Amino acid sequence: MIVEDHPDMYRLYDSQMRKGGHSTAMSYCLARNVAEARKLLSTRGIDIIVMDWMMPGMDGVSFVRELRADPERKDILIIMVTAKGMAADCAAALDAGVDDYLTKPFSFDVLFARIRSLARRKDRSFRNEGLLESAGIKLDTGRGVVTVGGREVRLHPKELVLLEVFLRRPGMLHPPRQLWDRGWAPDSENWEHTLVATIHNLKKGLGPKHGNRIKCARGLGYFLER
């Protein structure tokens, strides 16, 4: 579902999805505001939402928070598309619960690549079963369930991808670009800001004790302390 209030962008989305959306191998629908989006969500099965930030009434970030608080819709994957390109804006959107962030103006080829990337991860749905554990952090890769010190915590899909990378090789240094390529489509102007914000959210989700085990080696990358 595309949620976009600007008439020109709304028509452009419709045109581009008709011409190139076949590459996503999925159908699409459009909403002009949050109210229309809610109606579509009540009648259609939505896997991914491409969400504008600045809209009349409820803005995109507030709607993301609403979706994340809804048990039936909390796992919908969300790409935030916005002209707000500052690092603080990206961090705020990721904190609200978006899975990817794309700044305007953008290439529709890049947008379609992001949609395909999210669709592949949703389809895999942590199909590689197994239990990963390191000093109190446990990840059930088959179910995507994380427990920290015996307490279940909820992480977003990209945070789960990074946690799995760290848990599979605790103590190993992972360069930033390598981490990015594991969880995102390759093209992004703000990929470093997005990665830093996602790692920040992952650490916060794990809590102070275990989150602080994810260390940054300045200029080199990140690793999970054993």
pLDDT at 125: 46
Asked if 21 and 57 sit in the same domain, the reply is: yes
Asked if 108 and 162 sit in the same domain, the reply is: no
> Among the three residues 101, 124, 147, which one is the final residue of a domain in this structure?
124
pLDDT at 181: 75
> Among the three residues 106, 124, 142, which one is the final residue of a domain in this structure?
124
pLDDT at 67: 92
Measured CA to CA, the distance from residue 221 to residue 40 in angstroms comes to 42
Asked if 10 and 114 sit in the same domain, the reply is: yes
Give pLDDT < 50 ranges for the chain.
Answer: 23-24, 124-129
The dihedral built from the CA positions of residue 18, 16, 56 and 41, taken in this order, carries a sign that is positive
Q: How many CB atoms lie within 10 A of CB 201?
A: 20
Asked if 79 and 169 sit in the same domain, the reply is: no
Query: What CATH number does the domain containing 160 carry?
Result: 1.10.10.10
Alpha-carbon dihedral angle through residues 139, 143, 144, 145, given to the nearest 10 degrees = -60
What's the number of domains the chain is made of?
Answer: 2
Cβ-based burial of 94 (10 A; exposed 0-12, middle 13-18, buried ≥19): buried
Nearest to 203 by CA among 95, 126, 79: 95
Query: What CATH number does the domain containing 43 carry?
Result: 3.40.50.2300
Q: CB under 8 Å to 194, separation ≥6 — which residues?
A: 90, 94, 100, 101, 180, 184, 188
Domain encompassing residue 42 = 2-124
* pLDDT tens track for 68-79: 988 778 888 999
pLDDT at 127: 44
Token representation of residue 48: 């991914």
Asked if 22 and 100 sit in the same domain, the reply is: yes
Asked if 137 and 106 sit in the same domain, the reply is: no
Residue type for 155, please?
A: L
Asked if 38 and 140 sit in the same domain, the reply is: no
Asked if 172 and 106 sit in the same domain, the reply is: no
pTM over 0.85: no
* pLDDT tens track for 203-219: 999 999 998 999 999 88
Measured CA to CA, the distance from residue 94 to residue 168 in angstroms comes to 24
pLDDT at 185: 60
> Among the three residues 94, 124, 154, which one is the final residue of a domain in this structure?
124
Asked if 136 and 58 sit in the same domain, the reply is: no
